[in-house]
Chains A and B, each alone.
Chain A
Amino acid sequence: MMENENGSGAITRREMLAGTAIAVTALAMTKVTGLEAVPSAPTVTPVESEGVSFSVNGKAVKLEMDTRTTLLDALREHLHLTGTKKGCDHGQCGACTVLVNGRRINSCLSLALQHQDDSITTIEGIGTPENLHPMQSAFIKHDGFQCGYCTPGQICSAVAVLEEIKAGMPSHVSAELKAPVAFSNAEFRERMSGNICRCGAYSNIAEAAAEVAGVQG
């Protein structure tokens, strides 16, 4: 490693990173040379593409893409709607929650191709900075987030949960399967268990949703 221009001899972080990058490149080159000596055919599978049309936040879109593209990647990488977040990419955290035909799903566990003619709503379609959805305003009022990464998924999910309760859909904590259901802290928390918040803003999220549902939290 070279000495610094200031002659101190200390290695700066930038130099350290640059040096590492060179070392990695050298290693990669060695590997390629090594591979060339082995007379085996490369096992690269061709990329398969397909087209799909659906609407996002009221706008019709038509995409042609790798069949492997998830709805999440189509939204973020192809349509540049980066409000929807990639957390775990395995359906465990809920950061990627969007509404499809009004129902919430994990967009990371769905192929974009499965959504022909569907109507998709992302956080960008829930509200805008000038015209916030009541759930967005309530999240701000009640500090329903800290770092904010899970928030778009939390808000999409919370909006859908209130609709599910209104539609009378039962949950694991509903005492009676046949009786109507009403918003309660326990009902809301059970229904939101697929949205993880590592900052732990759950209490405030529940208060925000209670306000929107028109009940005391």
Chain B
Amino acid sequence: MKSFTYERAETPAQAAAAASKPGAKFLAGGTNLLDLMKLQIETPTHLIDIGRIGLDKIESMSNGGLRIGALVRNTDLAADPHVRADYGILSRALLAGASGQLRNKATTAGNLLQRTRCPYFYDTNQPCNKRSPGSGCSAIAGFSRQLAVIGGSDACIATHPSDMAVAMMALDAVIETVKPDGKTRLIPISEFYLLPGKTPHLETNLEKNELITFVVLPAPVGGTHVYHKVRDRASYAFALVSVGAILFKDGSGKIALGGVAPKPWRKPSAEKFIQSGAKGFTAKLLEGARPTNENAFKLTLVQRTIEGILTENRS
């Protein structure tokens, strides 16, 4: 690990202002950042510990929605009575991710910002456009079983690893931030993540030093909430494919996918086809997919997983 200076921030505004220091990075739970620092994939020269800036509460809003502090731990968010009652997809997605120890430490904002687990991103002996822009992509012609089938580019086919973000996408969450000058803004999660294109090292539309303060959930929409994760082990493994679904009695729904793209994958324009069945809907949802020989199975797996969820919901 490269050496760094360290400071403990006390307020969100103070944290955002401190981030103007060159080489600065926010430290929340640290479960992903410290791992990447050990491997020198991340090399901040100054860490701003935001663990105690007061953003660890879940507030009910007057419109019936929830305002989740950026530092609420994954365990606490999954176990929150309001989340369990009205946003079951979110509890289920969180509980399907990581291990008990990691969920106790990992935060809501940190989960949104976690980096890909593409093995070539982690292997510093290999070219990787995300880690070292312009060096090339080892994954496209390499071991790509886990990697993206849609949304990738000739520069990168890494997947976004989060389960929580898939649920947030289906729930139309909004991300609230503060900038170093104190200005705040709201970013719908559908606009938050960037596709890799020619610049896979740019992953979100957060500006430099902009700090996530809250994730806002709209008022509960009802429906049946499901999160189905397909993986190589029964627990503590990243998704090959995951499907987060909110299904309504009239057969309509909101469905987002994990494990298939560089961001949680959702296409609201395709959702009118949910009522016509998994085959037609999946064809629209994954239109334009460019799988490799190793991961083409994911297209079938997505369709079958959705079929299973729709069938179970009908009965």
Contacts and interface: CB of A to CB of B under 8 A. Distances in A.
Whether both chains belong to one complex is answered with yes
Interface of A: 45-48, 50, 66-68, 70, 89-91, 94, 97, 103-106, 109-111, 113-114, 116, 157, 160-161, 164, 168-172, 174, 177-178, 189-195
B235 A190 contact: yes
Contacts, number: 111
Contacts of A161: 100
Nearest to A194: B99
Nearest 8 Cβ contacts at the A-B interface: A194-B99, A193-B235, A193-B236, A177-B84, A172-B95, A67-B6, A169-B79, A103-B104
A90 B35 contact: yes
A116 B3 contact: no
9 contacts: A91-B35, A91-B99, A105-B101, A110-B105, A116-B8, A161-B100, A168-B79, A174-B95, A177-B88
Given A67-B6, A189-B235, 5 more contacts: A45-B3, A104-B104, A111-B6, A157-B100, A177-B91
Contacts of B1: 68
Nearest to A70: B34
Contacts of A104: 100-101, 104
Contacts of A106: 31, 101-102, 105
Contact of A171 (B2, B88, B95): B95
B268 to A, nearest CB: 26
Contacts of A189: 235
Interface of B: 1-6, 8, 27, 30-31, 34-35, 38, 47, 49, 51, 75, 78-79, 84-85, 88, 91-92, 95-96, 98-102, 104-105, 233-236
Contacts of A46: 3
Given A70-B34, A106-B31, A114-B51, A50 B6 contact: yes
A191 to B, nearest CB: 5
A89 B38 contact: yes
Given A109-B105, A177-B88, A194 B236 contact: yes
Contacts of B51: 114
Contact of B99 (A48, A68, A177, A193): A193
Contacts of A160: 100
A94 B85 contact: no
Which one of B4, B27, B34, B49 has the highest number of Cβ atoms from chain A below 10 Å of its Cβ? B34
B288 to A, nearest CB: 32
Given A48-B3, A67-B47, A114-B49, A97 B235 contact: no
Contacts of A47: 3
B4 A48 contact: yes
Given A91-B31, A106-B105, A178 B85 contact: yes
